[in-house]
Structure 1
Amino acid sequence: MTEIRHIVFDIGKVLVHYDPDLPFSRLIPDETERKRFFETICTHEWNIEQDRGRSWEEAESLLIAEHPDHEENIRNFRRHWHEMVPHAYDDSVELMEALIDKGHDVTMLTNWAKDTFTEARQRFPFLERPRGITVSGEIGMIKPDRGIYDHHASTFGLNPSETIFIDDSPKNVEGAKAAGWQAVLFTDAATLRRDLEQRGIEA
């Protein structure tokens, strides 16, 4: 196995908790109705376009035109976004910072809307620790599309074969491998630590 010289972290569900149910369990108390709302209105497919760079104003307008009776909760998705990311995973953050302190080259690659990531930077100071971050909403590309991995590698001078990517999404992990990177699926910090140690990386 090629020696790893670069470590790239995803952020959501790896370093920072994300769960839209947190505010919406209050806003739409009925579980069946809430599930239907996320499956048919504020869907993952709708939300990922904000990660690709679409503005919230456009995103809301499109949905409100289709579902005028749900205007309030459509707007609530952005309005209550801060409640969806209530905390970081301390053990994951500790591991990432230990890797940096040991001298490892650490960067981040995230699917995240431009404006909400600006807010996240203010709330989670550890996001400033790595050498740099590629934010999908800032460049108009999202994982697992090949282009975003190539862009990140080019921007930060990474040799793909010497790069390991850490993400909670199997599709994004496979996207990294297709781009020539090494990659591991994140489940928890303890498992990640073992995965890195098996590849000769110690924090």
Structure 2
Amino acid sequence: MKIVFDFGGVLFRWHPPSFLARVWPHRVPDETVGAEVAQTFFQSYTGDWGAFDQGLADAATTADRITARTGWPRAEIVTVMDAVPQELQLIEGTAALIQDLKAQGHTLHFLSNMPEPYADHLETHHPLGEWFESGIFSGHVKQSKPHTPIFELAAQQFGAKPQELVFLDDHPANIEAATALGWQAVLFTTPEAAREALQARGLLAAA
């Protein structure tokens, strides 16, 4: 069995409401407002940000488009975009889970919606090649979840039939897309819950 990890919100911290409250306190006084502003800024990872995710627009173009769409000052948009790498802190519980899965002989891959600049940052600052046999960043392949082509490309690259893949992701739409194509999938909430789910499937021995 091959186990496939999403990154944002699974292996690396990504919580837009609290992120925006930290980097944009003059616009986002708390996480409740942060959730509302995140919908406008990131458009549920469609639109301007979706094109950035897919490598169809660079950071400067994305900043221009968000500015034109929202009326927010471009410099403030760039501040948020430049702060994203710092937001992507390693989630230690997931890192420990990865090490345990590898120790028990599983092959690991990743499948992440990630704009190219942030993908490059993660590749530079974390030993992805040690943790994963291979992986796909949306920005590198010009496709993104939850669309079918990226899942088909992933199965091909990972050398597995869909039913041989177990996918951990924190977005229900991505889980639904994967299972519709025959993948096994676990909706990620916390490292502890993911560990329990993998143990229940017989993929990880209990500690």
C-alpha distance in 1 between matches for 2:187 and 2:34? 29
CA contact (8 A) 1:11 1:110 kept: yes
> Displacement of 1:63 after TM fit?
2.6
C-alpha distance in 2 between matches for 1:37 and 1:188? 24
Identity, % of aligned pairs? Answer: 26
- 1:106 maps to what in 2? 108
- 2:38 maps to what in 1? 38
CA contact (8 A) 1:25 1:34 kept: no
Listed as ranges, the gaps of 5+ residues in structure 2 are none
Change (3 A) 1:197 1:73: same
Q: Quick one: which of 6, 13, 28 aligns to 1:10?
A: 6
> Displacement of 1:68 after TM fit?
5.1
- 2:122 maps to what in 1? 120
Describe how 1:46-65 pairs up with structure 2 within 5 A: 46-53=48-55, 54-65=57-68
TM-score (norm 2): 0.85
Change (3 A) 1:111 1:14: same
C-alpha distance in 2 between matches for 1:93 and 1:81? 20
C-alpha distance in 2 between matches for 1:78 and 1:7? 30
Change (3 A) 1:164 1:70: same
Describe how 1:47-86 pairs up with structure 2 within 5 A: 47-53=49-55, 54-67=57-70, 69-85=72-88
Listed as ranges, the gaps of 5+ residues in structure 1 are none
C-alpha distance in 2 between matches for 1:65 and 1:16? 30
Over the aligned positions, Cα root-mean-square deviation in angstroms equals 2.2
Number of residue pairs aligned between Structure 1 and Structure 2: 198
| Most deviating of 130-139 and 63-72 | 63-72
CA contact (8 A) 1:42 1:74 kept: no
C-alpha distance in 2 between matches for 1:34 and 1:186? 22
Q: Quick one: which of 6, 24, 28 aligns to 1:27?
A: 24
CA contact (8 A) 1:146 1:178 kept: no
Change (3 A) 1:197 1:168: same
Per-residue CA shift, 1:80-134, capped at 9, x if unaligned? 222322x211111111121112211111100101121111122222564210111
| Most deviating of 134-143 and 186-195 | 186-195
Q: Give, as a single letter, the amino acid of the residue that structure 2 aligns with 1:31.
A: V
Change (3 A) 1:151 1:70: same
> Displacement of 1:139 after TM fit?
0.3
| Most deviating of 37-46 and 49-58 | 37-46
Change (3 A) 1:114 1:31: closer
TM-score (norm 1): 0.87
CA contact (8 A) 2:21 2:28 kept: no
Q: Quick one: which of 133, 151, 154 aligns to 2:153?
A: 151
